[in-house]
Amino acid sequence: MLLGSQGTFVSAVKDMGEFCRAPFASYEISSIAAPQDGPDSPPRRRLEELLWCAAFHASDGRLLEGCLLTDLIRMPRWPNMTRLPITDNSMRICARLVNFPTTVILIASILKIDRSEVLQFYSAAFTAGFVTVMNREGAGTSESVSDDPSHSHGDEAPADGESAPDEQPKNQRLFGLLFKKLLGL
């Protein structure tokens, strides 16, 4: 369940990979009222986490739309990867991108890892908004990762009513990316 006005989602999905790879016909999309929080309520997660998961599984080692092999990319800060699907070398890739902006091709070469693993990581990070593309104007500037050290990407979703004034455009982009995936576009 997506709670767009709060930038969160709630999920009871057991296998996120299977869910993200399912054909569009297997999804049902409807509008319902937001659930009330209670002691037995499932935890709310940030939409960036759902976008990462969807892109990670949809990529399957290929670049998704909007990503280019020649993109010069950097990660302004480490994302919280504790609940995200990752590859064996995701931490190495992340460390490289936080310290040195580089291209996907160069990362694979420097780290001596399979290019498809880097493509999968980049597709997920780009879709979730965790990277900045430095050589293309307006292409994937990271909206959900701030250079401000006080900006937190902890496990907890924002409380009801807490949202920054600039979050509405970010949420629209997140929803657009998520629904494109769901519609199979």
- In this predicted structure, what is the pLDDT of residue 121? 96
23/125: higher pLDDT: 125
Mean pLDDT of the chain: 75
109 inside domain: yes
Write out the residue range of the structural domain in which residue 99 sits.
Answer: 2-30+44-146+166-183
70 inside domain: yes
65 inside domain: yes
pLDDT tens profile 19-60: 777 777 777 776 666 666 777 776 777 778 888 988 999 898
Cα separation of the two ends of the chain: 21
- Average pLDDT for 107-114: 96
DSSP per residue, 130-163: --EESSSTTSS--SS--S-TT----SSPPPTT--
159 inside domain: no
149/105: higher pLDDT: 105
58 inside domain: yes
Nearest to 130 by CA among 139, 114, 141, 116: 141
State yes or no: pLDDT of 154 exceeds 70: no
145/78: higher pLDDT: 78
State yes or no: pLDDT of 64 exceeds 80: yes
> pTM for the whole thing?
0.67
Counting the structural domains of the chain, the total is 1
Q: Are 66 and 126 in contact (CB under 8 A)?
A: yes
39 inside domain: no
137 inside domain: yes
State yes or no: pLDDT of 184 exceeds 60: no
State yes or no: pLDDT of 143 exceeds 70: no
37 inside domain: no
Q: Are 127 and 51 in contact (CB under 8 A)?
A: yes
- Average pLDDT for 132-161: 52
Q: CB-based contacts of 95: which residues, under 8 Å, 6+ apart?
A: none
- Split at pLDDT 50, 70, 90, the class of 140 is low
- In this predicted structure, what is the pLDDT of residue 164? 41
Q: CB-based contacts of 94: which residues, under 8 Å, 6+ apart?
A: 75, 78, 79, 81, 121
